[in-house]
Amino acid sequence: MNDQAHAVEIREVAKRFGDFTALHPTNLHIGEGSFVTLLGPSGCGKTTTLRIIAGLLEPSQGDILIKGARVNDTPIHRRNLGLVFQNYALFPHKTVFDNVAFGLKYRHVSRDEMADRVAKALELVQLPHLADRFPRQLSGGQQQRIALARAIVIQPDVLLLDEPLSALDANLREDMRVELKRIQDQLGITTIFVTHDQAEALAMSDRIVVMRDGLIEQIGAPEEVYNRPASEFVARFLGNSNVLPGRVESRDDRAIKVAIDGVGTILTEAVEEEGAAEGDPVRVVVRAEKLQLAAPEAQAEAGTSILPGGVEAVDYQGQAARYFVSVNGHQMQAVNAIDERPFRKGEAVSVRIRARDCVLLPSSKTEG
Amino acid sequence: MSGERPQSPTLYSAVGGVAGERGGAETPSVSAPARLRAALKRIDIGWSLITGYTVAVYLFMFIPVAIVMLLAFNASQFGAFPMEGLSFRWFVALWNNDAIVRAFRVSFLLGGLTALISTTLGVLAALAIVRYRFPGKNLISTALVAPILVPEVVLAVALLLFLRWLDIPRSFFLLLCGHVIFTLPFVLLVVQARLVTIRRDVEEAAMSLGAGPIATFFEVTLPLLMPAVFAGMLFAFTISFDDITGTLFWKPGGLETVPTQIFAMLRHSVSPEINALGTVMILLTVGLPLLGAGIARRMARTRGG
Ligand SMILES: Nc1ncnc2c1ncn2[C@@H]1O[C@H](COP(=O)(O)OP(=O)(O)OP(=O)(O)O)[C@@H](O)[C@H]1O
Ligand SMILES: [Mg+2]
């Protein structure tokens, strides 16, 4: 058994509220010390999953294991977890010191050690001077740091965070993101982070679990989920993607030629596990940043496809621009760095797609 | 005055009309302020009528109370004006009247126990209703508040008949039960209102940190609930201390609370002693809640509520 390697494991865990299934039977392993993000749109079951792991919600079925031990029947206060909430949930009637020291009272820690550990935790979140304040005397960002200090001072087996940054304003959120990652690295604490913000997920995670309607769509490292989306949903949820339906025209062991409906033929790199045979319907996913616009006279190089197009709209963003390009009447998006000047609306361009930037998806699954 | 008032707007607008024919632009500046002034004057009179009426109502309500309090310090044998000098003799007489001192003791004991039991039950009931789901919840929460809606006499007679039917003799304990039943709704409502403002995630945070359900209650929920608990306790005490209807029905023979004692004394004569007793009651039942409200407000401030 390699249970020791997993800080948290859930096996066939599902949650139903009456007739409604918030979480379909799900399996998930979370490695010791890793930072795993549950990412997905509102209502997809992220909080439900987190609360089941925390012991705040009873699963309808399945087992939860923490450090290899089944904890289904262990109440939350014996699970040794650190929890951080969206709205901080500090104790309003206790000082910052007493807030942070709270968990230590239940862990047979001497007074001196308590003071010592609280001081260290406050230093870690860079607020050592606020110990005597009450929560209402702190800003939102400070409150969230104290909430984090309170959760980590007990040296929990797992740190669970449910959208901890979403109540903060944009600038502060980015600072806190860096800060949180620094603290997590420093402590090496296993962390499960819930968010619906893809930028947060990509920036902080070791692994991202993309969820949708109570199901896991894909699990992988940020680059993997971003560059090799397993489904159209993942491709669209993480940034701007072009999803082009078509049919396999021909294939050899290095490349697959796909005829995109009404657009033209493009070349994609053959990846061995994709069993697309000649004539199969497929979808080709290309990220907007990988769609290169060039002057109309550009020639195709080896391993790239060229499609003729016209710029329909330009969204100027400073160092880059987002173009809406029409290719034989089909709209595509391209985000390109600007070289000298951006392409103008109405300009004719050639759209260049490299074979290795294409991801092939079977079109058997019907998706929205 | 009021006879010519309705005419004035027409008068002013007539003037305004003439001015308008003569020189366009300044027309509104001539007539508008004047009209406004007239309107304001009318409003003024309306307001003073309302004010006067309100003052009269309050005087009607409070003058008798004031007279009782004033006469309590009257040196004369008779509880009537003119007063013959200031004296505390009636308060001293109260102090020396065994029946009254006994009644005070009963009332304090009864009020204190009622407050304690009502508040404990009220907090538990509020927790159950706000935090848990169980069958018959709506029914129970309505039943607990119902004693406020039912006239006290009806409640008193019903409980009395019920006890008769069960063949249970009246006792201090049953009197206490009666008081608990009709003070409970007040405590429940106050505590419930506060409890819904306490966020569930604060309690969840406490539990995640290692506090069991009981420790969480005493460390987090109760301290945050304290202002409401305190207010509920004072409510229960004052209501119990004040009560006469239910008490008359439920009290065992020979036991008197302060209100029933006053009632009994009034049957014989209106002695100045009663004025003194009334004064003490007023000070207690008005002073305690005021004091309590002050303390509760300070607690709410330090507890960030
Ligand atoms: N107690 C409940 N009773 C019924 N349905 C519930 C309950 N709790 C959650 N749900 C439903 O389960 C689904 C998943 O909820 P969950 O809170 O896990 O979503 P989420 O992914 O955290 O969304 P968000 O990003 O909005 O927080 C939602 O459709 C929600 O309506
Ligand atoms: Mg959520």
Count structural domains, chain B.
Answer: 1
As a whole number of angstroms, the distance between CA A110 and CA A225 comes to 46
Burial A285-313 (b: 16+ CB within 10 A, else e): bbbbbbbbbeeeeeeeeeebbbbebbbee
The answer to whether A93 contacts B224, with C-beta atoms less than 8 Å apart, is yes
Does some domain include residue B168?
yes
pLDDT in tens, B50-86: 899 999 999 988 888 888 888 878 777 766 677 777 7
B206 neighbourhood in chain A, CB within 8 Å: 91, 102
As a whole number of angstroms, the distance between CA B268 and CA B276 comes to 17
Does some domain include residue B231?
yes
The answer to whether B304 contacts A77, with C-beta atoms less than 8 Å apart, is no
Does some domain include residue B223?
yes
Q: Which residues pair with A6 in a beta bridge?
A: A31
CATH code that applies to domain A3-232: 3.40.50.300
The answer to whether B210 contacts A106, with C-beta atoms less than 8 Å apart, is yes
* Closest-CA residue of chain B to A150: B209
Picking from A200, A155, A177, the residue whose alpha carbon sits closest to that of residue A40 is A200
pLDDT in tens, A48-70: 999 999 999 999 999 999 999 99
As a whole number of angstroms, the distance between CA A94 and CA A314 comes to 54
Res B272: pLDDT: 75
Does some domain include residue B102?
yes
Does some domain include residue B186?
yes
- pLDDT of residue A227 exceeding 80, the answer is yes
Q: What angle do CA B210, B206, A166 make, to 5 degrees?
A: 125
Res B14: pLDDT: 39
As a whole number of angstroms, the distance between CA A263 and CA A246 comes to 9
Q: Would you say A135 and B304 are in contact if contact means Cβ atoms under 8 Å apart? A: yes
Which whole number is the average pLDDT over A310-339?
89
Which whole number is the average pLDDT over A232-243?
90
| Nearest CA distance, A76 vs chain B (angstrom) | 6
Ligand 1 residue neighbourhood (C-beta within 6 Å): A 17, 20, 22, 40, 42-48, 196
Instruction: Kindly report whether the global pTM for this prediction surpasses the value 0.90.
Output: no
* Per-residue H/E/C for B58-98: HHHHHHHHHHHHHHCCECCCCCCCCCCCECCHHHHHHHHCH
Could you confirm whether domain A241-365 is CATH 3.40.920.10?
Answer: no
As a whole number of angstroms, the distance between CA A7 and CA A33 comes to 8
Res B1: pLDDT: 38
| Nearest CA distance, A201 vs chain B (angstrom) | 24
Indicate which CATH number applies to the domain containing B279.
Answer: 1.10.3720.10
Atom index in ligand 1 nearest the CA of residue A38 equals 21
Atom index in ligand 1 nearest the CA of residue A194 equals 22
A85 neighbourhood in chain B, CB within 8 Å: 201, 204-205
Ligand nearest to the CA of A43: 1
Mutate which: B202, B204, B208, vs A, most A CBs within 10 A: B208
In this structure, the number of other CB atoms found within 10 A of the CB of residue B138 comes to 9
Q: Delimit the domains of chain A by residue range.
A: 3-232, 241-365
- pLDDT of residue A3 exceeding 60, the answer is no
Does some domain include residue B32?
no
Q: The tokens of A253 are what?
A: 């062991």
Does some domain include residue B159?
yes
| Nearest CA distance, A87 vs chain B (angstrom) | 8
As a whole number of angstroms, the distance between CA A250 and CA A254 comes to 11
Selected residue with higher pLDDT from B88 and A91: A91
ipTM tops 0.95: no
Average pLDDT score, chain A: 89
Q: Does A324 touch chain B (CB under 8 A)?
A: no
Mutate which: B199, B207, B209, vs A, most A CBs within 10 A: B209
Q: Which domain holds residue B240?
A: 92-304
The answer to whether B206 contacts A102, with C-beta atoms less than 8 Å apart, is yes
pLDDT in tens, A246-301: 888 887 777 888 888 878 888 888 665 556 777 788 888 999 988 888 888 777 77
As a whole number of angstroms, the distance between CA A320 and CA A314 comes to 10
The answer to whether B304 contacts A92, with C-beta atoms less than 8 Å apart, is yes
The answer to whether B209 contacts A150, with C-beta atoms less than 8 Å apart, is yes
Which whole number is the average pLDDT over B198-212?
94
pLDDT in tens, A93-149: 999 999 999 999 999 999 999 999 999 999 999 999 999 999 999 999 999 999 999
Does some domain include residue B38?
no
Res B16: pLDDT: 40
Centre of ligand 2 to C-alpha B197, Å, is 20
Which residue CA neighbors atom 6 of ligand 1 most closely?
A17
| Nearest CA distance, A108 vs chain B (angstrom) | 11
* Option in A78, A82, A89 nearest B202 (CB): A89
